[in-house]
């Protein structure tokens, strides 16, 4: 007989861990928003979306404060001057910025953050936050499918769709700067791959800050 509780009754062991910053980039329309929403739903409180500030007009179906903090150019410039952004960039003629607040405090407590930023944002965040950053680039299965997704979304005028298609090649040229590259062909397959990347990155020895004490205890 043993006094240890049966495995099913024991609370799972959770070692202290440093959080990470998961960055998703892709050409417009390849599926970042779709994959992000699925990840946030599946991961619950353990993953927090970094909501960017933008000067682009709100789209039908978007919610201010959930999808973006929508603002005007003078207010955005004021935030830049006040140092409110971890990074910011101009994309498609609009300004986008990642708010500095919240992220650094949460990382130390094991909170993970999700960022939907372009290649400029990915580079700047990687420079600012080093090994806390994990970058994933999503590719469409073909250019024809990308165009059909942009049109199918039904949120952008014809000239905007054409502009985004013209920019797609330039954005895709940055694929080799990312840690992981996933083709978003079938949504559920792509989502499973991105979730696997997140799970593996969480297990990295260097993020598991509780391992030193834990292994010391095991070997005592």
Ligand X SMILES: Nc1nc2c(ncn2[C@@H]2O[C@H](COP(=O)(O)OP(=O)(O)O)[C@@H](O)[C@H]2O)c(=O)[nH]1
Binding-site residues for ATP, please?
26-33
Minimum distance of ligand X from residue 56's CB (angstroms): 5
Q: Does 59 bind ligand ADP (CB under 6 A)?
A: no
Residues in CB range of 135: below 8 A, 6 or more apart:
23, 25, 122, 126, 177, 178, 179, 180
Instruction: Enumerate long-range contacts of 52-55, CB under 8 Å, 24 or more apart.
Output: 52/96, 52/97, 52/98, 52/99, 52/116, 52/117, 53/79, 53/85, 53/96, 53/97, 53/99, 54/94, 54/95, 54/96, 54/97, 55/94, 55/95, 55/96
Q: Which residues ranging from 126 to 185 are in contact with ligand ADP (CB under 6 A)?
A: 149, 152-153, 184
In the complex with ligand ADP, which residue's Cβ is closer, 102 or 142? Answer: 142
Among 18, 76, 116, 182, binds ligand X (CB under 6 A): 116
Q: Does 33 bind ligand X (CB under 6 A)?
A: yes
Burial class (CB in 10 A: 0-12, 13-18, 19+), 166: exposed
Annotated binding site: 26-33
In the complex with ligand X, which residue's Cβ is closer, 112 or 118? Answer: 118
DSSP secondary structure letter of residue 156: S
118 binds, among ligand ADP, ligand X, none (CB under 5 to 8 A by kind): ligand X
Minimum distance of ligand X from residue 125's CB (angstroms): 8
Q: Does 31 bind ligand ADP (CB under 6 A)?
A: yes
Residues that bind ligand X (CB under 6 A): 25, 28-29, 32-33, 52, 56, 87, 89, 91-92, 96-98, 116-118, 120-121
């Amino acid at each position: 007989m043993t006094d240890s509780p049966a495995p099913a009754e024991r609370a799972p062991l959770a070692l202290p861990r440093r959080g990470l910053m998961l960055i998703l980039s892709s050409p417009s329309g390849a599926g970042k928003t779709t994959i992000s929403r699925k990840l946030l739903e599946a991961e619950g409180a353990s993953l927090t979306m970094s909501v960017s500030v933008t000067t682009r007009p709100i789209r039908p179906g978007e919610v201010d404060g959930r999808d973006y903090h929508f603002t005007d150019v003078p207010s955005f410039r004021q935030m830049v001057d006040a140092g409110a952004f971890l990074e910011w960039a101009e994309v498609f003629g609009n300004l986008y910025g990642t708010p500095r607040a919240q992220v650094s405090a949460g990382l130390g407590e094991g909170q993970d953050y999700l960022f939907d930023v372009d290649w400029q944002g990915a580079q700047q965040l990687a420079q600012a936050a080093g090994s806390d950053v994990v970058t994933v680039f999503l590719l469409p299965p073909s250019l024809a499918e990308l165009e059909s997704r942009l049109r199918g979304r039904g949120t952008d005028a014809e000239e905007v769709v054409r502009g985004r298609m013209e920019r797609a090649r330039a954005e895709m040229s940055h694929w080799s700067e990312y840690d992981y590259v996933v083709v978003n062909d079938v949504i559920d397959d792509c989502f499973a791959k991105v979730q696997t990347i997140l799970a593996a990155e969480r297990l990295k020895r260097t993020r598991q800050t509780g391992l030193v004490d834990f292994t010391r205890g095991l070997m005592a």
